[in-house]
Amino acid sequence: MRRILALLTALALLLACAVSLADEGKTVYVSDFSAGADGWYGRGASVAPAGGVLKTTGRQDSWNSPGRDFALVPGGYYELGVEVLQEQLDSASFMVSVAHTVNGATSYENLARGTVKKGEWTALKGTYTAGDYDTFTLYVETVGAGTLSFSIRGFTVTAPNGEPAPRPTEPPMVISAVDSMPALKDVYAGKFDFGSCVNMMQAVNPVLMDFVGSQFNIVTPENELKPDAVFDLAASRALVTEDETAVAVHFDRAKPLLDWAQANGVKVHGHTLVWHSQTSPEFFREGYRGSGKYVTREVMLGRLENYIKGIMAYLDENYPGVVVSWDVVNEAVDDGPGNLRGSPWLTVVGDDYLHRAFELARKYAPEGTKLYYNDYNTASPNKLNGIYRLLSSLLQEGNIDGYGFQMHHAVGQPTVQQITAAVEKIASLGVSLRVSELDVTCGKPTEAAFTAQAAFYADVMKLILRYADQFEAVQVWGITDDASWRSYAYPLLFDKNRNPKPAFWAVADPDSIK
């Protein structure tokens, strides 16, 4: 039905809008702005048509743009063209992008790119094969240059192969078992929390989030509390003229999930305050300039303090009690001999940077917040020894509460015996434990692969249950197979239609698998 409606609307659009059908019926849409905005509107900006041109002003962010809704046909192949003019910068990069929605969830793709020199009308051209979405909004945005005003003219959408045909109808999506499934949060209630990671695009999909709430009682923002999402480079640069240690933070990407968690009484695990990866290189440099020298240890510790303080203060004020635990430092041990891995933190602060991070997290986190060190490949012997040494040293200062085993595994790799040895060794330190990022790849989606995957999940859960007194949470790293960072190997508990896989039933009842 959705596709028939899309096709009918596409045909109606063909007949109704300012279309040049003269060239053999192949142009789907032309906007010359001669008769007004022609359905274009401002996305976080103001748009005004005049003399065949649409001018966009009042932008605050790079996505602020002129946009228009199009009834594209899923599966249809289109060519896009537009001319862009800007008169403020020597040159600026632009993109034509599409925002599409399916079941209320919006996602984005960039379709054409180009550099526009000051005062020169420049053509951007691209192609797009429309995906299987309910709605499509095409828009023209800058890459950075958030406040730049610009004009567009001659926006065209062409179907060079003739009128695009709708994709053959696929069987409707079946969500069969949801009502009759046990909830993992209930299965493990009283032992440990059970959760998943959730990203921003998922957090704004109410249907999906109802499902998340039905299964899980703790969520980790997949990327939205990482330093590259939270550290506000432009605002920090503005502050740093007064004080080299000043840091500005923002939570634009994390807010949808935090709002949902707060409204639904679901706990949040924060990931991550300090990491060698996904941290702006400018964070470590004078004036927050890429060309600046590394700051001194003292300045960097001041920045670390202000960063952690800013995060904790914002969350405590706006989401009191929601974030119950943090990965204070992520993945600091190398994969070789188990020493501290090279990172700007190590270079600029020195080898006590983890100790200082935990000290500051303890100082500013609300009382009762659990502070974790989080890492992967714990079952590899050298790394296990390195992690053990690090935890022992952090424990001497008393600011760490626990260890997070990421557990990104494949069926049988590592072996359950190796994982058991790792859990035993870390558990012997007496710290809290969590499985922070559990997934188990299984190769192709065959019955045999899913059965082997289920058996491995069951073994891991049996192990965790033996240490249930120490484990505070088990969290899978993703909701459905298609949304996993390793979607190519089907690592999670639910398929793309949210149907439970054998792995789900194994986790829900590990003893059912002998």
Angle at 481 between CA 479 and CA 484, to 5 degrees: 75
Active site residue: 83, 222, 331, 359, which one? Answer: 331
With respect to ligand 9MR, which residue has the nearer C-beta, 359 or 437? 437
Taking CB under 6 A as the rule, does residue 364 contact ligand 9MR?
A: no
φ, ψ at 102 (rounded to 5°):
-140, 130
Residue nearest ligand 9MR, Cβ-based: 485
HEC assignment per residue over 204-273: CCHHHHHHHHHHCCEEEECCCCCHHHHECHHHHHHHHCCCCCCCCECCCCCHHHHHHHHHHCCEEEEEEE
Taking CB under 6 A as the rule, does residue 392 contact ligand 9MR?
A: no
Tokens of 357: 């991070």
Total chain residues near ligand 9MR (CB under 6 A): 8
Taking CB under 6 A as the rule, does residue 224 contact ligand 9MR?
A: no
What minimum distance in Å lies between the beta carbon of 376 and ligand 9MR? 6
Q: Which residue has the tokens 């990931």?
A: 271
According to DSSP, the β-strands at 65-70 and 135-142 are: antiparallel
What gap in Å lies between CA 80 and CA 29, rounded to an integer? 10
The one among 135, 223, 339, 497 contacting ligand 9MR by CB under 6 A: 223
With respect to ligand 9MR, which residue has the nearer C-beta, 62 or 223? 223
Least Cα distance to 457 among 502, 405, 403 occurs for: 502
With respect to ligand 9MR, which residue has the nearer C-beta, 159 or 225? 225
With respect to ligand 9MR, which residue has the nearer C-beta, 138 or 332? 332
Q: Which amino acid is at 496?
A: K
With respect to ligand 9MR, which residue has the nearer C-beta, 157 or 407? 407
Q: Which residues pair with 138 in a beta bridge?
A: 68, 98
With respect to ligand 9MR, which residue has the nearer C-beta, 27 or 202? 202
- Burial code (b: 16+ CB inside 10 Å, e: under 16) for 129-145 equals ebeebebbbbbbbbeeb
Q: 407: left (phi > 0), else alpha (psi -120 to 50), else beta?
A: left
With respect to ligand 9MR, which residue has the nearer C-beta, 463 or 483? 483
Instruction: Give CA separation, 381 vs 330, 387, 456, 464, in Å.
Output: 19, 10, 20, 19
Task: Decide if 437 is catalytic.
Answer: yes
Tokens of 401: 């509460």
Number of other CB atoms surrounding residue 176 within 10 Å: 11
What minimum distance in Å lies between the beta carbon of 437 and ligand 9MR? 5
Task: Decide if 141 is catalytic.
Answer: no
What minimum distance in Å lies between the beta carbon of 226 and ligand 9MR? 7
Taking CB under 6 A as the rule, does residue 278 contact ligand 9MR?
A: yes
Taking CB under 6 A as the rule, does residue 512 contact ligand 9MR?
A: no
The one among 83, 222, 232, 481 contacting ligand 9MR by CB under 6 A: 222
The one among 418, 485, 495, 513 contacting ligand 9MR by CB under 6 A: 485
With respect to ligand 9MR, which residue has the nearer C-beta, 223 or 393? 223
What gap in Å lies between CA 134 and CA 148, rounded to an integer? 31
Active site residue: 79, 305, 437, 472, which one? Answer: 437
Taking CB under 6 A as the rule, does residue 334 contact ligand 9MR?
A: no
Taking CB under 6 A as the rule, does residue 277 contact ligand 9MR?
A: yes
Q: 495: left (phi > 0), else alpha (psi -120 to 50), else beta?
A: beta
Taking CB under 6 A as the rule, does residue 161 contact ligand 9MR?
A: no
Taking CB under 6 A as the rule, does residue 406 contact ligand 9MR?
A: yes
Taking CB under 6 A as the rule, does residue 107 contact ligand 9MR?
A: no
Least Cα distance to 63 among 143, 150, 151, 122 occurs for: 143
What minimum distance in Å lies between the beta carbon of 329 and ligand 9MR? 12
Taking CB under 6 A as the rule, does residue 377 contact ligand 9MR?
A: no
What minimum distance in Å lies between the beta carbon of 28 and ligand 9MR? 34
How many CA atoms within 13 Å lie on the side-chain side of 47?
Answer: 25
Least Cα distance to 394 among 433, 441, 429 occurs for: 429
- Burial code (b: 16+ CB inside 10 Å, e: under 16) for 410-428 equals bbeebebebbbbbbebbbe
What minimum distance in Å lies between the beta carbon of 374 and ligand 9MR? 7
Site string for ligand 9MR, 433-452 (x = CB under 6 A): ----x---------------
Q: Which residues bind ligand 9MR (CB under 6 A)?
A: 222-223, 277-278, 376, 406, 437, 485
State the catalytic residues: 331, 437
